[in-house]
Amino acid sequence: FEHQDAVSSHSILVTAKFMKSPVLVADTNCKFSSYGDLYHDGVIYCELHGAEPAIRRELRAISGYTSRVTRERIRSALLILAVIIALFLALLAFRKSQAKQRDHI
């Protein structure tokens, strides 16, 4: 599959009715590629802009891809939350001890 196959009205994809019309290029830097078997459930996508969200989810599911970024973000968020809770509890304990000291004076 070549980029020109997606954007040319004379390409085999258009003339053989695999595509109704050539893909309109949204950006001069767009470059189209394909993933999978275009006779069945393959996808044509832009290397710069990617595929639409529904297709991306399908591709991830088919390939078994799991985003590490999501896991790392969750771990980071939990760590930050744990630190905030620990600081809050330390501040609470400090204020309580300060209140006890004032009561004894």
The tens digit of pLDDT for each residue in 58-80 reads 877 877 877 777 778 888 999 99
Which domain does 76 fall in, by range? 67-105
Share of the chain above pLDDT 70, in %: 99
> Same structural domain for residues 54 and 10?
yes
- Counting the structural domains of the chain, the total is 2
Scanning the structure block, which residue is given the tokens 């830097």? 29
CA 65 to CA 102: how far, in whole Å?
59
> Same structural domain for residues 9 and 58?
yes
| pLDDT at res. 71 | 77
| Of 11 and 83, the one with more pLDDT | 83
| Of 93 and 37, the one with more pLDDT | 93
> Same structural domain for residues 7 and 56?
yes
| pLDDT at res. 105 | 65
> Same structural domain for residues 44 and 93?
no
pLDDT digits (tens, 9 = 90+) for 17-36: 888 888 888 888 989 888 78
Q: What angle do CA 93, 88, 101 make, to 5 degrees?
A: 20
